[in-house]
Structure 1
């Protein structure tokens, strides 16, 4: 199994047809089919199921597709790092971030960084904290932005400013009076929309307030929770910076009290891993920021 075969296999998986894949690769169909047959023989498994019009990946094929993407990405990253070392401050910076911070916090820092290092391009991946850790551990990204806690034996980190969790809903969804804060006992009759990461703590706080919460939706994506709240389906409980994801929204925002819920994000990178020059400079910017903490 070599890199060329993996690229051929990925082309077929993406195109859904060997003929289309051959066209994209600028080769004829017979040698492409032959390479896949040889790859299947070498691995001793069937990778694709062939029909007259389309191909479908087998379970083994899907596994290979996932690994092949990681392998090709690692090779590309290695090539970029070699070019960076040869040509100075250039190359590509790979960052993974949770969705809310990827759309609010990261652009601000990227803008500052780009002014100093205009030759560095970016590869930005979005996902939940678990996905960001997977990408970091696989070497596909160098820097991650996730919510704490983390395994400090595996990762170095820079703590970002603490955030309050807020309740977000249409104005007529809650009776609030003239206050900017809201305690848990005021929402016992409302359906809740909560991020999976905070599900346990929110449910426990509701029970401490004397009621069993009506959880309408749990999700790994704060944007979805805000959209549901905007549709009047319930009260979303999200980190405060998340509210910037929906501009010109009629949603009402209130900080949670009694008790307050605090969440903290952090910039992380692998210990015992040599960072690229671009990544090191990017981290230096966070280290020098007066609002962060090592």
Structure 2
């Protein structure tokens, strides 16, 4: 069976259109239709229901395209591995990360990587945790940097680091703050000496990352351990925006330690410890059944040497 037929069927499945698929594949639409018809005749089943304005896979067609995708991935993995054995580390590296992590972890890592492997083109893909898990599991990203837990059985993880989490408050006391905290905030020394239970802030407005971001789940689980559900005042996809909102007195948030050291909002914020000593763990994440490229392995090795 011609490997091109797998590509044809998969493209039709993705676009739900013979016309669009033909355009993406750079072939004539009648020719594509003829090839698929021949494939269906060979298999003895229909792969697609051809309805006006929509093309949907039949149950047999869905089975076919899922297996075709695996076969094409295996072909691409084999091609890449053989090429790397011949030419070494070069080509492209697709790395995924959320903005909260990528902006702090990756720049110094990329600088060293570029110095050592100038022939590799790095493509940074910044998405939500949920989206990155899907892209990595499907092999569309070589490796992602995400926080635990990772519950997708298609993925492997390799631990990078574990760091503490801090509660972020405005510099000046606000009406919504607990009275105990307002008193302590009058002394910088007392703030640094005290660690607070998260449940003290159960009635405060929280600023969280949006649905789909792993760090949102981390904060929600932290609150759950304090036996309350946070009152969400604002949601954002940026930890920098969250801190800016806090700096303007609109609520509180939680951040990992790496954010504190490089925050541009430090002058308007107070970072305090929590008595439960919460942490998050970052991991390299990759598809356990696909070839992990030499490019990706080199990135992991550079990080481990710098740690």
**CA offset digits 1:222-281 (Å, max 9, x no partner):** 726765776687533343445799977998452342333222213356789875332332
**Structure 2 vs 1, CA of residues 288 and 272 (structure 1 numbering), >3 Å: closer, same or farther?**
farther
Report the Cα offset of residue 120 of structure 1. 1.3
Query: 31-40 or 125-134, which moves further after superposition?
Result: 125-134
Q: Residues 1-16 of structure 1: matches in 2 within 5 Å?
A: 2-13=2-13, 15=15
Q: Residues 61-76 of structure 1: matches in 2 within 5 Å?
A: 71-76=71-76
Report the counterpart of residue 28 of structure 1 in structure 2. Answer: 28
Q: Could you list the runs of 5+ residues in structure 1 that have no partner in the other structure?
A: none
**Structure 2 vs 1, CA of residues 47 and 273 (structure 1 numbering), >3 Å: closer, same or farther?**
closer
**Structure 2 vs 1, CA of residues 228 and 96 (structure 1 numbering), >3 Å: closer, same or farther?**
closer
Report the Cα offset of residue 105 of structure 1. 1.1
In 2: Cα distance, 1:59 partner to 1:198 partner:
42
Report the counterpart of residue 223 of structure 2 in structure 1. Answer: 202
Structure 1 contact 169–253 (Cα < 8 Å) conserved: yes
Report the Cα offset of residue 288 of structure 1. 1.1
User: How much is the aligned-residue C-alpha RMSD, in angstroms?
Assistant: 4.5
Q: Residues 190-229 of structure 1: matches in 2 within 5 Å?
A: 190-194=204-208, 195-205=216-226, 207=227, 212-216=228-232, 223=237, 227=241
Structure 1 contact 96–132 (Cα < 8 Å) conserved: yes
Q: TM-score, normalised by structure 1?
A: 0.68
Residue 266 of structure 1, aligned match among 283, 286, 305: 283
Report the counterpart of residue 102 of structure 2 in structure 1. Answer: 102
Structure 1 contact 155–268 (Cα < 8 Å) conserved: yes
Q: Secondary structure at the match of 2:7?
A: helix
Structure 1 contact 94–142 (Cα < 8 Å) conserved: yes
In 2: Cα distance, 1:161 partner to 1:214 partner:
24
Report the Cα offset of residue 25 of structure 1. 2.8
Report the counterpart of residue 54 of structure 2 in structure 1. Answer: 55
Q: TM-score, normalised by structure 2?
A: 0.66
Q: Could you list the runs of 5+ residues in structure 2 that have no partner in the other structure?
A: 209-215
In 1: Cα distance, 2:34 partner to 2:117 partner:
46
**Structure 2 vs 1, CA of residues 237 and 82 (structure 1 numbering), >3 Å: closer, same or farther?**
same
Tell me which structure has the larger Cα radius of gyration. 2
Q: Secondary structure at the match of 1:104?
A: helix
**CA offset digits 1:27-62 (Å, max 9, x no partner):** 2221212333445563845535532xx434458577
Structure 1 contact 93–278 (Cα < 8 Å) conserved: yes
